[in-house]
Structure 1
Amino acid sequence: MKKSKIHQTIQYTLVVLVTAILLGFTASCKGDDDDDTPARKSHKVVFKAIASAGSNIKTAVYGYDSTNTTATSLSGTTWTSPEITSPAGAINVNVGVNATGSSSASTLKVQIFVDGELKKEGTSSGEILSATANYTF
């Protein structure tokens, strides 16, 4: 029972940490206000996570700029977000996924697909897995 509470606490802490990091990326980009910036357009975005055999994906935080969605109570070794459309003014997209691994050799990979094209990947390894990726348009 105690192990379960510890894992829940660690997972919650990781979700909060990943969210804070992703929001920090967004905040650091909002100050870039060049007049030479080309016109931005909307994009179709999909996020994916792939964990090694025996691992279990638990939580995902994904979105654009500071608009994020949290998916909880996930399970299994793969996860794919619903397709989202980032608005024309969006600066970046980000994803953070937490999972538990079966051993120290376990891995987790997150991917960002923009308009059907793989743009960014992030990885993690170990028994407590937390992978993030950020892509700027």
Structure 2
Amino acid sequence: MKFLRNALLALMLASAFTGCSKDDDNKPASKSHKVIFKATASTGSNISVAVYAYDANQTTATSLTGTTWTSPEITVPAGTVMATAAVSASGANASSSLKVQIYVDGELKKEGTSTGQILSASVSYGF
């Protein structure tokens, strides 16, 4: 089960890098940015794994517990193209929810959600 969950997170993360963007003219960031990833699950749920990255620099947080998780603040260098995160959790019931957010320089930029008993949400942001 754990292998399957990790494989799913890796697949979600990979797809975020190859996904389409609203902006056809994606240019790398011209300056560094402070990035924080946050996840919040509904009451009774349990966050277990988080994978977050900027460009090819990936970090995996495992053995997580609880309904909230926040990454350390990351300074992404100038030239960074994409920041992305995928989080997995177990829901208490079919109406459970999971929300994953990306904050850049203190401002919420993007949000992804999931509902159900098996929760897997991802989000990506292009600079």
Does residue 40 of structure 2 align to residue 46 of structure 1?
A: no
Name the residue aligned to 1:69. 59
1:40-119 map, 5 Å: 40-119=30-109
Contact 1:98 1:130 in 2 (8 A): yes
Q: Runs of 4+ in structure 1 displaced over 6 angstroms?
A: none
Contact 2:39 2:70 in 1 (8 A): yes
Deviates further, 14-23 or 121-130: 14-23
Contact 2:40 2:68 in 1 (8 A): yes
What is the TM-score when the length of structure 2 is the normalising length? 0.88
Unaligned runs of 5+ in 1: 1-6
Name the residue aligned to 1:128. 118
Unaligned runs of 5+ in 2: none
Aligned length: 125
For 2:48 and 2:56, the matched residues in 1 are separated by 22
Contact 1:110 1:122 in 2 (8 A): yes
**Superposition RMSD on alpha carbons, in Å?**
2.1
% of aligned pairs identical?
58
SS in 2 for 1:90: coil
- Structure richer in helix, relative to its length: 1
Instruction: Give the 3 Å change call, closer, same or farther, for CA 136–23 of structure 1 in structure 2.
Output: closer
Q: Which of 1 and 2 has greater Rg? A: 1
Contact 1:23 1:66 in 2 (8 A): no
For 1:38 and 1:49, the matched residues in 2 are separated by 26
For 1:90 and 1:44, the matched residues in 2 are separated by 12
SS in 1 for 2:48: strand
